[in-house]
């Protein structure tokens, strides 16, 4: 079956969290500690001990008035004579032009020159070496050395480029939010190598990563032997209908992991 329709309401780029008070009568010390971690100490003034002690903080998502970031790189990569940029997955997720899950025209035009291989990468603790938590859309504030490790940045850039140049299709399959992953990959300068980001809404909608991968095999027209899912959580790999690689150590992919992926997909 084709993958579930794309959910544009969850984690859309350009949304920001706005704090709003709501009466609840839960001025507990636990909430104060937890809320201080999530929202900052200044946001919690008044909880436990003053006239605002019966209020808690709730989150309201409002779209920003900006047009949103440009997803296309300055010079789109080209393979098989066709420029391919991030976002070409629309036809796949909408059932194709004929409603049968067919790939976009650019894929069809490249089918004779590009091998059909699919590499699905988890994001947190797989591509990155730390958990990624962003609370605004300020790309300039992202500490890439902290998220990836300074030495790993060129390694991950080279890895994504090598996969793309080989003809493989790259996707992200994550429980993080789409706009968070998109922003980080853009700053890493590899977003244009990826066809799609499947975030928590799509993973939950498919009842887990193994089920989603089963849908992607049909959507992208690849077999299990031509596909790999790379993840740091073994529970996301159990039952997958494709090749898998478990990333251990909670420090992201290393050189040996990259070699393993390339060998399993027979990419030299």
Per DSSP bridges, beta strands 227-231 and 118-121 are parallel
Predicted pLDDT of residue 258: 98
Per DSSP bridges, beta strands 169-173 and 118-121 are parallel
pLDDT in tens, the chain (268 residues): 565 554 444 444 444 333 333 334 444 444 344 444 443 433 333 333 344 333 333 333 444 444 544 444 334 444 443 444 455 444 433 333 334 444 444 333 333 334 589 999 999 999 999 999 988 888 999 999 999 999 999 999 999 999 999 999 999 999 999 999 999 999 999 999 999 999 999 999 999 999 999 999 999 999 999 999 999 999 999 999 999 999 999 999 999 999 999 999 999 8
> Collapsing DSSP states into helix, strand and coil, what is residue 230?
strand
Compute the residue count for the chain: 268
Predicted pLDDT of residue 8: 42
DSSP 8-state symbol, 265: T
DSSP 8-state symbol, 91: H
Predicted pLDDT of residue 198: 97
Neighbours of 151 (CB within 10 A): 8
Of 184, 181, 170, the closest CA to residue 10 belongs to 181
The two three-digit tokens of residue 181, written as one number: 């992953």
Predicted pLDDT of residue 41: 39
pTM of the model: 0.63
In the block, residue with structure tokens 């992919």? 253
Of 108, 213, 115, the closest CA to residue 171 belongs to 213
Dihedral (CA of 177, 183, 189, 191) sign = positive
Of 62, 63, 54, 163, the closest CA to residue 115 belongs to 163
């Amino acid at each position: 079956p084709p993958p579930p329709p794309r959910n544009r309401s969850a984690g859309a780029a350009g949304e920001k969290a706005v704090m709003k008070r709501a009466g609840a009568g839960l001025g507990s010390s636990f909430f104060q500690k937890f809320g201080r971690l999530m929202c900052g100490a200044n946001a919690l003034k008044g909880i436990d001990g003053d006239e605002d002690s019966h209020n808690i903080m709730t989150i309201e998502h409002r779209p920003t008035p900006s047009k949103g970031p440009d997803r296309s790189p300055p010079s789109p990569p080209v393979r098989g004579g066709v420029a391919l940029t991030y976002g070409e997955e629309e036809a796949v997720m909408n059932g194709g032009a004929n409603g049968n899950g067919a790939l976009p025209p650019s894929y069809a035009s490249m089918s004779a020159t590009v091998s059909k291989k699919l590499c699905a990468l988890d994001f947190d603790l797989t591509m990155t070496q730390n958990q990624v938590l962003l609370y605004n859309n300020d790309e300039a504030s992202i500490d890439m050395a902290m998220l990836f490790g300074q030495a790993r940045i060129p390694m991950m850039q080279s890895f994504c480029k090598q996969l793309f140049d080989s003809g493989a299709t790259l996707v992200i399959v994550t429980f993080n939010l789409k706009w968070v992953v998109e922003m980080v990959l853009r700053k890493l300068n590899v977003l244009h190598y990826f066809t799609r980001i499947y975030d928590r809404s799509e993973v939950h909608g498919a009842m887990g990563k193994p089920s989603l991968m089963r849908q992607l095999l049909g959507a992208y027209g690849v077999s299990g032997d031509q596909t790999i899912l790379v993840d740091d959580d073994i529970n996301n790999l159990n039952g997958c209908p494709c090749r898998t690689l478990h990333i251990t150590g909670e420090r992201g992919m290393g050189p040996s992991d990259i070699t393993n992926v390339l060998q399993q997909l027979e990419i030299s």
